Amino acid sequence: MRKVILTPYLFLISFFCFIAISISAKEEPLKKATFIPQWAPQAQFIGYYVAYEKGIYKKHGVDLTIIPGGPEAPPSELLNSHQADFATLWLSSGIQMRDAGIGLVNIAQILQRSALMLVAKKTSGIETLQDINGRKVGLWGPIFQIQPKALFKKYDIHVKIISQSYSVNLFLRDGVDVASAMWYNEYHTILNAGINPEELTTFFFYEYGLNFPEDGIYTLQETYEKDPELCCAFAKASIEGWQYAFVHPEEALDVVMKYMEKAHIPANRIQQKWMLERMKDLILLEDTSIAMGRLLLDDYERVAQGLKENKLIDEIPDFKTFYKRCDNYAEE
Amino acid sequence: MLRNKGIAFKLIFYILVSALIIFTLIFGYNYIVVRQVISRKIEENAKNLAQATTSRIDIVLRSVEKAPENLACFIENSSYSKEGLINSLCSVVENNPEIYGGTIAFEPYAFNSESLYFAPYFYKCNGEIKFTYLGSETYRYFYWDWYQIPKELERPMWSEPYYDVGGGNIIMATYSVPFYKTVDGERRLIGIVTADISLLWLQKMVSSIKISQTGYGFLISKNGTVVTHPTEKLIMNETIFSVAEARGDAKLREIGREMIKGMSGFVPFNSIVTGKKCWMVYGPVFSSGWSLGVLFPQDELLADITRLNRMVFSLVVAGILFLSFIIASIASNITKPLRTLAKKSEEIGSGNLDVEIPSVKSRDEVGQLTESFVYMKQSLKQYIKELTETTAAKERIESELKIAHDIQMSIVPKIFPPFPERSEFDIYATLEPAREVGGDFYDFFFIDDEHLCFVIGDVSGKGIPASLFMAVTKTLIKTIASKNMSPNEILKRANVELCHDNDSCMFVTIFLGILNTKTGEVLYTNGGHNPPLIVHKGKGGDFLEMEQGTAIGAFEDIIFKTERLVLQSGDYIFMYTDGVTEAVNKSEELFSEERLKKDVNVLLEKSVKELVLNIVEKIKDFSQGVPQADDITMMVIKYKKEI
């Protein structure tokens, strides 16, 4: 008797299950997209390479192509000319470009802390900030000069500025007393030229209230408006790539070393390892309540104000139009 | 443990242990010294090699330095035209085969006020000399190391080695010389002259350094960048410090710091290529500030002494084995006859004196021991034979003495009371000879119904002669004593008899008395004997005062005197020989007359038998186990007059 009654229900349940499975299993076509990091392959971009290699972009529905970066491929140009859908840029560069009329938006602020620093040898007698007064200081191009100049102004320090090239040899040979360095790169190069950390005096800008967070992910506003889902999928997958790299550093290093060798770039694993570890320090905030990839208004305003004071921009772009929040995607 | 092992084992053990210790000390010392000597030699050679190589590098670099320096000097000290500069530069590149390319790069607007950049550049390409101008918006040479560093430091500089872009995989280095002009009294930088050289020759020179099988040379730049190394992956990719970081090798970092500081050294180091223990020598290339390191694999260079050591070690093992064999055979030669002797002596010990002791021909200690053993066996045999005979003789004599003792004891009256039918007196006597037989005696007998003759005597000397003399004396006196004879007469006649044919000159002290059992009268004569104790009933006793008299048997014509006393009922006569009063104890004190008198007085109430036996006990107690030296004889007569 029971069987007779139950059979129609069972049939109905099976039917709905079948429908549900068919719907979820139905493959959405992958969306094609291109990405350019702002420099040649190195651990600074390890999250993207790992996300690509581990199929994280595909998992998020993105069929990504990574365009090799480098001095010949400025990401701003590639973005503007639609050759690349996504690019990494410094926050200061992003604001500058927006001010210059290029309609790009930040969809994830990856670095939360500025890696830019000043380094001096203790043998040159520099132990405190005031010791820099009257010294030769090596600085990079304009965008790298905002923080040091603000610092010198803030503390009333007068220096002789020397244009600094890509190498730190001028500093190592004592051609300058103070050099600019990225914590994750040049600083380690200096250590690996035989100078011990205790022999160096370091000045991190974030320690002096001049935190200009650097690398973020950008896309054109029109790209975002056309397909915000794709943009956020890309941002989310990228952040997942970073998270994977932090958990599996050796595997991630293998990936980045592979890309470096492919690009014929001198590959020094220990340097890349240092870079990865420092990226982790710069990306993961001590305040874990703030999701990865979030751009904080304070940081934005600080950087924009700095740019404006240095007359690198005319107006501070509206934060809401500049920043499209995709950050909490990673939390889902 | 070792104590229980055999001689052979001990010999082998101690000799081998000593030999091993001695060998180890010699071997160790030898090894250390040889190693030190070789290490010193290697260090010397290594330093020479490093110095020679760096000198050769220096010579080449210095010769290259000359050309740009001369050109800079020429520019500083002459007015120049554009063509003149270009021609001079061209000839520098053309005429110096080591120089790959060269430029004269001017400061912005320093060549003329119109051009920001002026840097004519000649370079070799496929054997041809090509020309171009450096400097553009993308190549602002003012900010490149080859320009900027000598400019800021105001002195000529060798650049860090670099890969030539477009020139294939050639490592290059540039020597840059700043040149100046004095304008308005101020020395101002005008530009930089450079010469580029390929470092291919340097790589070849350094990689041609081969030390043994795996030793190698390497060169690092002023920054520590690896310029040449057998591991190609390291070249231009790593610095000595990044290698140190990757290996977690703080020591390598320290070595690297010394190297880039232009110091020389010789340090132990583990090869990066093979991981083997090496020595590393390093020294600076002075002109460029680079540093050369050469690795000397220790095991390969010390292979000869390792081989030698192994050989010596095998020889020692063989020697030790041989030594053990020799010691073992010597030991067994010694111990085998010893073992046989031990077994034989066990048999001898169990009484078999007829065992055959194997003859040993050698005249060494074992041979002598065997001979002594044979002699000992024979002596033992002889001794035991004699001992057996002596023992038999002694046993015979002892048995005879025993018989003699029994006979002597049977001579003196032994049954007490001797006259049970007579109640007038009690008598008790004892004789304990010091040896089997002695010279003391006592006797008592009735001469007639009323008169009891009693006598106690002590023959001079002891043993069998004394006992024989005693027997003679006692028998004589018993024979002589007859009715109505006075004691002095008896002694006189006995003396005469004894003196006859007494060649041995023996004599006997004697006390003889005759008791009238009816009256208690005692007639007595003393022949030199101890005075007896006379104990009067209720008064205690005292020694009898009388003529001392002379012992009988020595002199024929002696006159004896008879004296008289009367015993009342209950009185005693206590007679004894000097064995009683002269018994000694451990402190060599005599029992003495006084002690005897005292003891007797204490025992007055006892019967005669108890009195005598008690005194015997007292003497035993007194002497405290000191063996009896003289015969002990006592006789007591207690007079009991019938009422």
Domains of chain B: 2-59+202-301 (3.30.450.20), 79-198 (3.30.450.20), 412-639 (3.60.40.10)
DSSP state at residue B72 = H
- Both A186 and A223 in a single domain? no
Domain residues for A60?
A: 31-112+213-331
DSSP symbols for B545-606: P------BSS-SS-----EEEEPPTT-EEEEE-HHHHT-B-TT--B--HHHHHHHHHHTTTS
* Per-residue pLDDT, B2: 65
With CA atoms as reference, the chain B residue closest to A265 would be B237
- Both A236 and A309 in a single domain? yes
Q: Which of A177, A208, A239 is the last residue of a domain?
A: A208
List phi, psi (to 5°) of B386: -65, -40
Q: In CATH, what number is assigned to the domain containing residue A147? A: 3.40.190.10
Which of B435, B424, B319 shows the shortest CA–CA distance to B639?
A: B424
- Both A218 and A282 in a single domain? yes
Is B142 in Cβ contact with A194 (below 8 Å)? no
Q: Which candidate from B152, B242, B253 shows the least CB-CB separation from A175? A: B152
Q: Which of A208, A232, A253 is the last residue of a domain?
A: A208
Is B245 in Cβ contact with A194 (below 8 Å)? no
- What's the distance, CA A11 to chain centroid? 54
With CA atoms as reference, the chain B residue closest to A190 would be B223
* Per-residue pLDDT, B642: 64
* Per-residue pLDDT, B303: 84
Query: Looking at beta carbons, which residues of chain A come within 8 Å of B246?
Result: 269-270
- Both A321 and A200 in a single domain? no
Q: Which candidate from B148, B157, B239 shows the least CB-CB separation from A192? A: B239
Instruction: Output the CA torsion B39→B41→B46→B49 (10° steps).
Output: -170
Is B144 in Cβ contact with A192 (below 8 Å)? no
Query: Looking at beta carbons, which residues of chain A come within 8 Å of B253?
Result: 194
User: Which token pair is B169?
Assistant: 């995989």
- Both A184 and A286 in a single domain? no
Is B145 in Cβ contact with A266 (below 8 Å)? no
Is B145 in Cβ contact with A163 (below 8 Å)? no
- Both A88 and A221 in a single domain? yes
Asked if residue A16 has pLDDT above 60, the reply is: no
User: Which token pair is B12?
Assistant: 């082998």
In one-letter notation, the amino acid at residue A108 is A
Query: Looking at beta carbons, which residues of chain B come within 8 Å of A268?
Result: 237-238, 242
Task: Decide if A20 is inside a domain.
Answer: no
Min distance B39 CA to chain A CA atoms (Å) = 29
List Cα–Cα distances, A46 to A213, B92, B332, in angstroms. 18, 47, 83
Is A194 in Cβ contact with B256 (below 8 Å)? yes
- Both A310 and A254 in a single domain? yes
* Per-residue pLDDT, A180: 95
Rounded Cα gap, residues A194 and A173, in angstroms: 12
* Per-residue pLDDT, A20: 46
In one-letter notation, the amino acid at residue A120 is A
- Both A128 and A169 in a single domain? yes
3-state secondary structure of B284: strand
* Per-residue pLDDT, A288: 76
> Per-residue pLDDT averaged across B150-178, rounded?
85
Task: Decide if A288 is inside a domain.
Answer: yes
Strands (E), B400-520: 425-432, 440-446, 451-459, 508-516
Asked if residue A21 has pLDDT above 60, the reply is: no
Min distance A170 CA to chain B CA atoms (Å) = 5
Is B224 in Cβ contact with A193 (below 8 Å)? yes
Q: Which candidate from B153, B238, B240 shows the least CB-CB separation from A175? A: B153
Query: Looking at beta carbons, which residues of chain A come within 8 Å of B136?
Result: none
CB atoms within 10 A of CB A275: 24
Asked if residue B626 has pLDDT above 90, the reply is: no
> Per-residue pLDDT averaged across A177-187, rounded?
94
* Per-residue pLDDT, B168: 57
Is A172 in Cβ contact with B239 (below 8 Å)? no
> In this predicted structure, which of A59-68, A115-124, A181-190, B620-629 has the lowest mean pLDDT?
B620-629
Is B238 in Cβ contact with A270 (below 8 Å)? yes
Compare B321 and A329 and report the one with higher pLDDT.
B321
Min distance B241 CA to chain A CA atoms (Å) = 5
Residue of B241, B251, B260, B263 for testing the chain A interface, max A β-carbons within 10 Å: B241
- Both A126 and A190 in a single domain? yes
With CA atoms as reference, the chain B residue closest to A169 would be B145
Asked if residue B560 has pLDDT above 80, the reply is: yes
DSSP state at residue B113 = S
Task: Decide if A188 is inside a domain.
Answer: yes
List phi, psi (to 5°) of B217: -115, 155
- Both A125 and A267 in a single domain? no
Rounded Cα gap, residues B299 and B275, in angstroms: 12
The number of folded domains in chain A is: 2
Min distance B225 CA to chain A CA atoms (Å) = 8
- pLDDT category at A62 given cuts 50, 70, 90 is very high
> Per-residue pLDDT averaged across B185-201, rounded?
90
Asked if residue B538 has pLDDT above 80, the reply is: no
Asked if residue B483 has pLDDT above 90, the reply is: no
The pLDDT tens digits of the residues spanning A158-173 come to 999 999 988 899 999 9
Query: Looking at beta carbons, which residues of chain B come within 8 Å of A176?
Result: 152
The CA-CA-CA angle for residues B464, B469, B472, to 5°, reads: 130
Is B240 in Cβ contact with A194 (below 8 Å)? yes
Q: Which candidate from A169, A192, A266 shows the least CB-CB separation from B145? A: A169
The pLDDT tens digits of the residues spanning A79-137 come to 888 999 999 999 999 999 999 888 899 999 999 999 999 999 999 999 999 999 999 99
Is B148 in Cβ contact with A175 (below 8 Å)? yes
Task: Decide if A24 is inside a domain.
Answer: no
Task: Decide if A311 is inside a domain.
Answer: yes
* Per-residue pLDDT, A327: 55
Min distance A52 CA to chain B CA atoms (Å) = 26
Query: Looking at beta carbons, which residues of chain A come within 8 Å of B151?
Result: 175
Is B238 in Cβ contact with A194 (below 8 Å)? no
The pLDDT tens digits of the residues spanning B416-453 come to 888 888 888 889 999 888 877 788 899 999 998 889 99
Query: Looking at beta carbons, which residues of chain B come within 8 Å of A123?
Result: none
Min distance B217 CA to chain A CA atoms (Å) = 20
Min distance B140 CA to chain A CA atoms (Å) = 10
List phi, psi (to 5°) of B79: -85, 140
Residues of B with CB under 8 A from a CB of A: 142-145, 148-149, 151-153, 157, 159-160, 222-224, 236-242, 245-246, 253, 256-257, 260
H or E element, residue B607: none
Min distance B164 CA to chain A CA atoms (Å) = 13
Min distance A68 CA to chain B CA atoms (Å) = 19
With CA atoms as reference, the chain B residue closest to A71 would be B138
- Both A141 and A278 in a single domain? no
- Both A56 and A185 in a single domain? no
Compare B278 and A329 and report the one with higher pLDDT.
B278
In one-letter notation, the amino acid at residue B394 is K
Is A192 in Cβ contact with B152 (below 8 Å)? no
Query: Looking at beta carbons, which residues of chain B come within 8 Å of A162?
Result: 148, 152
Helix B240-247 and helix A269-283, axial crossing angle in degrees, nearest 10 = 70
Is A268 in Cβ contact with B237 (below 8 Å)? yes
DSSP symbols for B311-360: HHHHHHHHHHHHHHHHHHHHHHHHHHHHHHHHHHHHHHHTT-TTPPPPP-
Is A175 in Cβ contact with B160 (below 8 Å)? no
Is A170 in Cβ contact with B148 (below 8 Å)? yes
Query: Looking at beta carbons, which residues of chain B come within 8 Å of A140?
Result: none
Asked if residue B198 has pLDDT above 50, the reply is: yes
Query: Looking at beta carbons, which residues of chain B come within 8 Å of A164?
Result: 143
Pairing of strands A178-182, B99-106: unpaired
How large a percentage of chain B has pLDDT more than 70? 99
Q: How many residues does chain A have?
A: 332
Is B143 in Cβ contact with A173 (below 8 Å)? no
Residues facing A42 on adjacent strands? none
Asked if residue A17 has pLDDT above 50, the reply is: no
Min distance B27 CA to chain A CA atoms (Å) = 44
Helix A249-262 and helix A228-247, axial crossing angle in degrees, nearest 10 = 110
Query: Looking at beta carbons, which residues of chain A come within 8 Å of B152?
Result: 136, 162, 170, 173, 175-176
With CA atoms as reference, the chain A residue closest to B147 would be A170
The ipTM (two decimal places) reads 0.82
Min distance B245 CA to chain A CA atoms (Å) = 7
Min distance B25 CA to chain A CA atoms (Å) = 45
Q: Which of A167, A192, A208 is the last residue of a domain?
A: A208
Q: Which candidate from A169, A267, A270 shows the least CB-CB separation from B160? A: A169
Task: Decide if A17 is inside a domain.
Answer: no
